[in-house]
């Protein structure tokens, strides 16, 4: 049984590692997601997010985003490596037939675009196929979930969503304000919540409310169950694999069997759930899922839902 993961921050860590000490192909490196561990977990697809942290000056944000794209091509999907870049549904479909792992470029927060749609088009040409409009704060596109005013899409934000749809990109609503979420739902663009859980189970504001979960389901999108302890349990220090299963069970109760996936957020989190501390540990989660649910369901959640979604929409 394979695995597909809708969100990790490997590229952010590689960018922070300006001296090139981190090695994606070393098991002993300081990366939660690396090739040896991914091979152990039978990862078929990993989404790699470009993330420009808020402390980066606006004038440098585009440059930092491009550095992370370069790290993806130079340090992750090297020529002759076992990880190949994927940009289309056709390329993703081929992952089912071989033993290569696919790497899909995404962006977490559109700050680096600096309100410029030509930058969006350039990123598309470089292989970016999924964009989360915001991180936690506001930018030119919309408010993030931690902005107190809770604003929705700006005028530029509406133009950006329309351009993403024209290009054939996927929109990620994780981190987006509630009002921004509902603005996005007015469009036909394919939508995912790449790394979000159920607010009814864990009350953190980054998680999705019931009506949001139902909206993603109705839109034929996906919800990537995430392993961030504070999004899993109201008392993060006691979060366990069983707590993750409660989020799955709850989304199932809302009709989400065909819309559950996983978005670990590995390499973007410091605190880890015991037994789920790097990508190789997802084997432990698979075992627990198999104990409780039909294997066909588990296969959909751990692998097929992401693959099928991208085959349909890219």
Reported as a single tens digit per residue, the pLDDT across 237-271 is 999 999 999 999 999 999 999 999 999 999 999 99
**Biggest CA pair distance of the chain:** 51
Where would I find the H helices in the chain? Answer: 10-16, 35-40, 58-71, 89-94, 117-125, 155-167, 178-184, 210-218, 229-232, 241-253, 282-292, 295-299, 305-313
pLDDT of residue 99: 85
Reported as a single tens digit per residue, the pLDDT across 214-225 is 999 999 999 999
User: pLDDT at residue 162 above 90?
Assistant: yes
Token representation of residue 115: 């309100």
Instruction: Report residue 310: phi and psi, to 5°.
Output: -70, -35
Instruction: Report residue 68: phi and psi, to 5°.
Output: -70, -35
User: pLDDT at residue 163 above 80?
Assistant: yes
Reported as a single tens digit per residue, the pLDDT across 62-106 is 999 999 999 999 999 987 789 999 999 999 999 998 889 999 999
pTM: 0.98
Beta-ladder partners of 84 = 102
Q: Mean pLDDT, to the nearest integer, of 270-290?
A: 98
pLDDT of residue 90: 98
Q: Mean pLDDT, to the nearest integer, of 126-149?
A: 98
CB 54, CB 12: distance < 8 Å: no
pLDDT of residue 81: 80
Q: Mean pLDDT, to the nearest integer, of 228-233?
A: 99
Other CB atoms within 10 Å distance of the CB of residue 94: 15
Reported as a single tens digit per residue, the pLDDT across 16-68 is 998 788 999 998 779 999 999 999 999 999 999 999 999 999 999 999 999 99
CA atoms within 13 A on the CB side of 100: 20
Please state, for a pLDDT cut of 70, what percent of the chain lies above it: 100
User: pLDDT at residue 279 above 80?
Assistant: yes
pLDDT of residue 29: 75
Give the Å distances, CA to CA, from 167 to 72, 130, 220. Answer: 21, 11, 19
pLDDT of residue 17: 94
In order of start, what are the domains of the chain with their CATH numbers?
3-313 (3.20.20.140)
User: pLDDT at residue 273 above 80?
Assistant: yes
pLDDT of residue 98: 82
Q: For residues 71 and 93, give the distance between their C-alpha atoms in angstroms, rounded to a whole number.
A: 25
User: pLDDT at residue 112 above 90?
Assistant: yes
């Amino acid at each position: 049984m394979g695995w597909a993961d809708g969100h990790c921050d490997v590229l952010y860590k590689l960018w922070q590692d300006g001296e090139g000490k981190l090695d994606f192909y070393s098991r002993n490196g300081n990366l939660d997601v690396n090739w040896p561990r991914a091979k152990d977990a039978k990862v078929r697809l990993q989404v790699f997010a470009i993330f420009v942290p808020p402390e980066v000056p606006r004038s440098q944000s585009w440059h930092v985003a491009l550095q992370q794209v370069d790290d993806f091509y130079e340090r992750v999907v090297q020529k002759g490596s076992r990880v190949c870049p994927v940009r289309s549904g056709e390329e993703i479909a081929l992952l089912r037939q071989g033993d290569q792992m696919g790497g899909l470029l995404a962006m977490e927060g559109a700050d680096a675009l600096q309100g410029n749609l030509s930058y969006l088009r350039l990123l598309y040409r470089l292989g970016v196929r999924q964009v989360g409009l915001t991180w936690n704060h506001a930018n030119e596109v919309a408010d993030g979930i931690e902005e107190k005013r809770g604003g929705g899409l700006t005028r530029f934000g509406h133009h950006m969503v329309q351009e993403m749809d024209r290009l054939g990109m996927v929109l990620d609503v994780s981190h987006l304000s509630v009002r921004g979420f509902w603005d996005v739902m007015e469009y036909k663009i394919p939508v995912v919540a790449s790394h979000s859980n159920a607010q009814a189970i864990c009350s953190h504001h980054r998680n999705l409310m019931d009506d949001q979960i139902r909206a993603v389901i109705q839109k034929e999108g996906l919800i990537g169950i995430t392993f961030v302890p504070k999004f899993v349990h109201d008392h993060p220090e006691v979060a366990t694999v069983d707590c993750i299963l409660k989020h799955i069970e709850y989304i199932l109760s809302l009709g989400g069997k065909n819309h559950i996936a996983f978005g670990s957020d590995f390499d973007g989190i410091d605190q880890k759930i015991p037994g789920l501390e790097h990508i190789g540990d997802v084997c432990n989660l698979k075992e627990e899922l198999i104990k409780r649910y039909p294997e066909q369901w588990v296969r959909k959640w751990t692998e097929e839902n992401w693959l099928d979604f991208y085959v349909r929409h890219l």
